[in-house]
Structure 1
Amino acid sequence: MTEYLDVIMFAALMVAILSGFPVSFSIAGIGIAFAYLGWALGVMDITLLGAMGQRVFGLLSNQVLIAIPLFVLMGALLEKSRIAEDLLDTMGRLFGQVRGGLGISVVLVGALLAASTGIVGATVVAMGMIALPTMLRAGYDPRVASGIVCTAGTLGQIIPPSTLLIILADVMSNAYQQAQYEQGKFSVEALSVGQFFAAAILPGLLLVCLYLIYILARGVLRPADMPPAPPGLAKPDRAEVIRAVIPPILLIFAVLGAILGGIATPTEAASVGAVGALLMAGVRFGMNRKMILLGAVALVALGILAGLFPVRLQRDDLGLGSYLAGAGYIMLAIGGIVAVVLALKSAIRGRIIQDALNSTLTMTAMIFATILSAGIFSLVFIGLGGEERVARLLEDMPGGATGALIFSMIFIFILGFFLDFVEISVILLPLVTPTLIVMGHDPIWLGVLIAINLQTSFLTPPFGFSLFYLRGAAPPEITTGHIYAGVVPFIGLQIVGVVLIWIFPALAIWLPRAIF
């Protein structure tokens, strides 16, 4: 029995999580219990837990993971200021008269919100409360409407910036370095969040295209499932569309453009995104909208001009032009600071900032507590010989490297029925990905395949998070059966997306290689 203690430990973790006990306490508790059990049975060196302090310090000092609360704050500000609701309403009225048009608008809005917020829960709830009743009034099949809303909301996990990609970039970078050590390379390369953001853009757009093709095809083949919106739905004018669409697009360009262009690190770009979301909320609800808007323009101008014509005032060989440029930059910075203060004042008055900070702290605490407790679990699992067992299992798979990857993808998919993406990322992936990389799989391509697989875990019953989010926000006539049945075709489309990226790896690796 002692030789299978690692397997029993993993099974005990499944039972503890499914029991409903808080996840982070379940993971840490199982780890500590099996550490002492293994020590008592003489199959584990308990001093291995001494490395936990180093792991905690490494997590708290990890520059990559600092971006998570900033990106979450950016999305929370956009959600609480109801900018997402305006976008959804406008796009719904724009495409409503097309057969399947409301479904198309939901997917497009999901993609825009994914690239500007990255928060699945907020997106699904917003669309469940706004778009779903409209789709039902238009005569949409409840299953089709539920499936579209659930799936469009999960795009925030694959389209950057997303917390999944940030966590995955950290895990895959560590796995890649470990694989290089095992191959005898001691001058190792690291992977960055920017590379994974670049790698996920085309696959994310591929999934959007697959969803749109499915909706259009179903609208033609089964028109009764997705009729046009009622004629009374007023079509928005051009100015209304611009007001709803342009701000999120500008925010996307500011954040992703800064990262992919090498101008800013993900953490710096996340702070830019949070400030941008605050300014957008201020323009929407503030008393001094023109001043906030002018300050936002001043900050954009400062970023562009300072990048093109940098001035370092501490040097003693500057000419008059440099001093004038420096004075101009200072004035632009002051204008930007005034705008941020006014926007912050408006957000506090409207309780936007309080609610956004509460959401941010809750989600950040959940993610970091899970990562910390997973560190305890993985240490004990390694001490019980679990890492060697997983490596042997993958190496002995028929089909070599391809067989090992197919087994891993199926295993991750099955775990997605029961576990959250954070738990799978920080518990399972550090065990399987180093071996898969040693077998010859490209780490970035592998990371994108796993990211889409983990995104699917939001849709798979019985514990898919999107299903729970929609169940809480959906009208009473939408049943749990409708939601479960509605996501099945989209789970199939997710699998099609994985197969296409497997067949055409350039979809994942071309852009990061071209940029980096």
Structure 2
Amino acid sequence: MEWLSLVLFLLVLVALMIGFPVAFTLAGVSLLFAFGAILVGVFDMAFINAIPSRIYSIMTHSTLLAVPLFIFMGLMLEKSKIADQLLLTLAEVFKGVRGGLGIAVILVGALLAASTGLVGATVVMLGLLALPTMLHQGYCPKLASGTICASGTLGQIIPPSIILILLADVISNAYQQAQLQQGIFAPETVSVGDLFAGALIPGLVLVGLYLLYMLGVAFFQPHRVPKFVAATQHGVTQTQPGLLVRVVKSLIPPIALILLVLGSIILGIATPTEAGALGALGALALALLKNQLSMATLNYVMRNTLKLTSMIFLIFIGAAFFSLVFRGLGGDDLAHDLLGNLPGGLFTLMLLTMLFLFILGFFLDFIEITYVVVPIVAPVLLLLGADPIWLAIMIAINLQTAFLTPPFGFALFYLRGVASDVLKTVDIYKGVIPFILLQLGLLALLAAWPSLATWLPGYLQ
């Protein structure tokens, strides 16, 4: 009856794409299949009995406690208007450079990614702050929208990224499962710090590719990227004295917070949860220093942190139902038999997995993909010899690319929601294509040289 596990998987995917609530779909469909299988005598009740202990382990998982802390940190930084000052100051720094405003947007996107890790919030912030100014300065609408969407999605790969925290949990479980199947009874794990360190170089390479593209456009197509001209309109202030002081004041706080959080995790000084607490406290301090901390702000941040955390953990619980029922129906063995015997071995399976995840990324959020699809394919890939850190970074960049890809990329919808009618939807779609190609190029580089993702974690151990 292993074919029932495949029917369960496909039915869950269809229901999610239609738009049914994720957590209730995962739990409800799985339980219906389990009870039906019990009635015909092909399902072991031990898997149902294991659900309470699985839920308890989710609620007490020390690494997952970092999720609400990083969400709080990101939302507080969003409300403290750090992006406003960063963008205006960096734009003034590059005001004599053709394409300087585009460079400033990319750098601000990278800093926000390393500060907040919230893709939707970053795209919306950059869309509200930078898009009107770029269009007013004479930037090509396609280039302006593509730059904002691509820079906003850097939060998927540049740590501290929420997806990397979740992938650390899923990949670690898959890695332990693969090692146990190989007879290794003291299995190693993959930590959040490993993935943060592994994502650092690819993330910086991607930022560098974006900057090189912007400079290339400025050199070969200068009419698309004019020089920045200071003005008093559209939120851009006139050039004022003391630029160096303002640059230091704008850059030092977020960079210090990034180094505090990432450095403590990567160097092993603090756990992800402890670093998340430091980040939340640092975000509160920055908001207070900028006179942006009020009861209304605190209420907004705490309420939205609770909503997002509740949604994520409810999906965790639904995914626990799905994984136990899928395993009880023999899904693990079926996946191993089907995927492990493909011609071409690891290369073929990795290519098919990347294509499948890329397509799913059009329709499903990264949390759903991480907890529904990755636990099925990851153990087989790891058994075939894939490095767990490399695999996690490849998946994260793949989903980031799907976030950008027309016609269903989430980042495109975020920007469309805050952009004026002057910007056409087709301009947004065309504008992201060069950045999609750059991200696919990064995936190819990682496939050819896995050490881009594995060297730094190995060096720090």
Provide the residue aligned with 1:58 in structure 2.
57
1:260 paired residue number: 266
- Note if contact 2:73-2:283 (Cα within 8 Å) is conserved in structure 1: yes
Distance 1:70 1:373, change over 3 A: same
**In 2, distance between residues paired with 1:60 and 1:3?**
30
Distance 1:263 1:7, change over 3 A: same
- Residues 230 and 239, structure 2, Cα contact 8 Å, conserved in 1: no
Matched, 1:377 2:322: yes
1:269: which partner in 2? 275
The Cα offsets for residues 359-416 of structure 1, whole Å up to 9 and x where unpaired, read as 2112111211111111111222222222222212221222112222111111111111
Give the superposition deviation at 1:280: 0.7
Match of 1:437 in 2: 382
> 1:468 maps to which residue?
413
Displacement after TM superposition at 1:27 (Å): 2.1
Stretch moving more, 452-461 or 424-433 = 452-461
Residues 244 and 42 from structure 1, CA distance in 2 versus in 1: closer, same or farther, beyond 3 angstroms?
same
1:348 aligns with 2:294: yes
Q: In structure 2, the residue corresponding to 1:21 is in which secondary structure? A: coil
Query: Is this contact kept in 1: 2:201–2:452, CA < 8 A?
Result: yes
Counterpart in the other structure of 1:176: 175
Aligned residue number for residue 339 of structure 2: 394
Task: Judge conservation of contact 1:89–1:130 (CA < 8 Å) in 2.
Answer: no
1:510 alignment partner in structure 2: 455
- Superposed displacement of residue 41, structure 1: 4.6
Contact 1:259 1:269 in 2 (8 A): yes
Q: Is the 8 A contact 2:145 2:428 kept in 1?
A: yes
Distance 1:115 1:229 in 2: 26
**Gapped runs of 5+ residues in structure 2?**
none
The Cα of 1:231 is off from its aligned counterpart by 5.1
Give the Cα separation in 1 of the matches to 2:430 and 2:5: 36
Asked if 2 retains the 8 angstrom alpha-carbon contact of 1:89 and 1:131, the reply is no
1:278 corresponds to 2:224: no
Answer yes or no: is the 8 Å Cα contact 2:362–2:410 preserved in 1: no
AA paired with 1:417?
F
Q: Highest CA radius of gyration, 1 or 2?
A: 1
Matched, 1:141 2:140: yes
Residues of 2 paired with 1:365 and 1:223: CA distance? 48
1:240 partner letter: R
Q: Which moved more, 1:219-228 or 1:416-425?
A: 219-228
> What one-letter code is carried by the residue in structure 2 that aligns with 1:348?
S
* Cα 1:462–1:28 shift into 2, 3 Å: farther
After superposition, the CA RMSD in angstroms is: 1.7
Aligned to 1:118: 117
- Note the C-alpha offset of 1:47: 4.3
Q: Using structure 2 for the length normalisation, give the TM-score.
A: 0.94
- Residue identity matched to 2:172: S
Shift of 1:223: 2.2
The Cα shift of 1:480 comes to 2.6
CA contact (8 A) 2:2 2:331 kept: no
Scaled by the length of structure 1, what TM-score is found? 0.84
Alignment of 1:33-52 (within 5 A): 33-52=32-51
1:223-255 deviations in Å (ceiling 9; x for gaps): 222222335363461111111111000101111
Counterpart of 2:245, as a letter, is: A
Task: Give the superposition deviation at 1:8.
Answer: 2.5
Offset at residue 113 of structure 1 (A): 0.8
Q: How many residues align?
A: 454
The residue type paired with residue 460 of structure 1 is T
Paired residue for 1:311?
none
Task: Tell me, in whole angstroms, the C-alpha distance in 2 between the residues paired with 1:30 and 1:463.
Answer: 26
Q: Percent identity?
A: 50
Residue of structure 2 equivalent to 1:495 = 440
122 and 256 in structure 1: CA distance in 2 versus 1, 3 angstrom threshold: same
Task: Decide whether the 8 Å contact of 2:98 with 2:222 is kept in 1.
Answer: yes
With 260-269 and 218-227 compared, the bigger mean Cα shift is at 218-227
The yes-or-no answer on 1:367 pairing with 2:366 is no
Shift of 1:437: 1.1
Shift of 1:39: 3.2
Contact map agreement 1:458 1:464 (CA 8 A) in 2: yes
> C-alpha displacement at 1:4, in angstroms?
3.3
